[in-house]
Structure 1
Amino acid sequence: MDFKAVGKKIKELRKTSGLSQEDLAEGICTQAQISKIEKGDVYPYASTLYQISQKLGVDVNYFFDIGTTPRLDYFQEVFHQLQILRRSGKYEEMMDIVKAELDNPLFSQNNKNLQLLLWHKGIYLYEVKKDLSKSVDTLKEAIHLTHKKGKILLERELEIFLAMGAIYFKEDINKALEVFEEVKDHLQLLPHLNDFTIKTQHYYHITRVLTRLNRQEESNKYCEDGIKWCLHKDSLFLLGELHYQIGYNMELMNKPEEAVKFMKKAIIVFEIQQDTRHIQFIKNRIKELSALI
Structure 2
Amino acid sequence: MDKEVLGKEIKKLRKLRNLTQKQLAEGICNQSEISRLEKGEVFPSIDILHLVANKLKVPTFYFYEVLIHDNISYKNNLTGKLMTLVQNKDYIEVYKLVENELKKTECHPEFKQFLLWQYYVSAYYLKKINSDTCLTELKLLLQQQTFGTNVIQDLFIKNSIANIYAEKRKFKESIRYYDSILNSEIDSLEYTAFRNKVLYNLSKVLFLDNQIELSLSTLDEAIEWLCRNSDMSLLGQVYFQKAECLEKLNYPYDEISECYKKALFFFKLLGLTYYEKIIIEKKQRYLN
Which of 228, 237, 240 matches 1:241? 237
Tell me the number of residue pairs that the alignment of Structure 1 and Structure 2 aligns. Answer: 251
Equivalent position of 1:79 in the other structure:
79
Residues 201 and 64 (structure 1 numbering): CA distance in 2 closer, same or farther, change over 3 Å?
farther
AA paired with 1:79?
A: T
Which of 103, 113, 116 matches 2:114? 116
173-182 vs 205-214, which moves further: 173-182
TM-superposed CA distance for 1:2, in Å, is 4.8
Equivalent position of 2:195 in the other structure:
199
Q: Deviations over 1:50-104 (max 9, x none)?
A: xxxxxxxxxxxxx999768621111111111111111221111111111121123
In the aligned structure 2, how far is the partner of 1:77 from the partner of 1:65? 20
Equivalent position of 1:157 in the other structure:
154
Matched, 1:93 2:93: yes
Matched, 1:266 2:263: yes
Secondary structure of the 1:136 match is helix
AA paired with 2:81?
A: Q
Equivalent position of 1:131 in the other structure:
130
Residues 231 and 109 (structure 1 numbering): CA distance in 2 closer, same or farther, change over 3 Å?
same
In the aligned structure 2, how far is the partner of 1:34 from the partner of 1:174? 50
In the aligned structure 1, how far is the partner of 2:65 from the partner of 2:273? 37
AA paired with 2:212?
A: Q
Matched, 1:257 2:254: yes
Equivalent position of 1:284 in the other structure:
281
Q: Alpha carbon RMSD of aligned pairs, Å?
A: 3.5
* Correspondence 1:210-249 to 2 at 5 A: 210-249=206-245
In the aligned structure 2, how far is the partner of 1:112 from the partner of 1:137? 19
Instruction: Tell me the TM-score normalised to structure 2 length.
Output: 0.75
CA contact (8 A) 1:116 1:142 kept: no
Residues 68 and 252 (structure 1 numbering): CA distance in 2 closer, same or farther, change over 3 Å?
farther
Secondary structure of the 2:190 match is coil
Gap runs ≥5 in structure 1: 11-27, 50-62
Secondary structure of the 2:283 match is helix
AA paired with 1:98?
A: V
In the aligned structure 2, how far is the partner of 1:42 from the partner of 1:216? 56
Residues 110 and 66 (structure 1 numbering): CA distance in 2 closer, same or farther, change over 3 Å?
closer
Instruction: Tell me the TM-score normalised to structure 1 length.
Output: 0.73
Residues 135 and 9 (structure 1 numbering): CA distance in 2 closer, same or farther, change over 3 Å?
closer
Secondary structure of the 1:194 match is helix
AA paired with 1:136?
A: L
Equivalent position of 1:40 in the other structure:
42
Residues 179 and 8 (structure 1 numbering): CA distance in 2 closer, same or farther, change over 3 Å?
closer
Residues 198 and 68 (structure 1 numbering): CA distance in 2 closer, same or farther, change over 3 Å?
farther
Gap runs ≥5 in structure 2: 11-30, 53-62
AA paired with 2:209?
A: L
In the aligned structure 2, how far is the partner of 1:267 from the partner of 1:67? 48
In the aligned structure 2, how far is the partner of 1:69 from the partner of 1:196? 30
Q: Deviations over 1:255-284 (max 9, x none)?
A: 343222111111111112111111011112
In the aligned structure 1, how far is the partner of 2:84 from the partner of 2:130? 23
In the aligned structure 2, how far is the partner of 1:69 from the partner of 1:197? 30
Secondary structure of the 2:230 match is coil
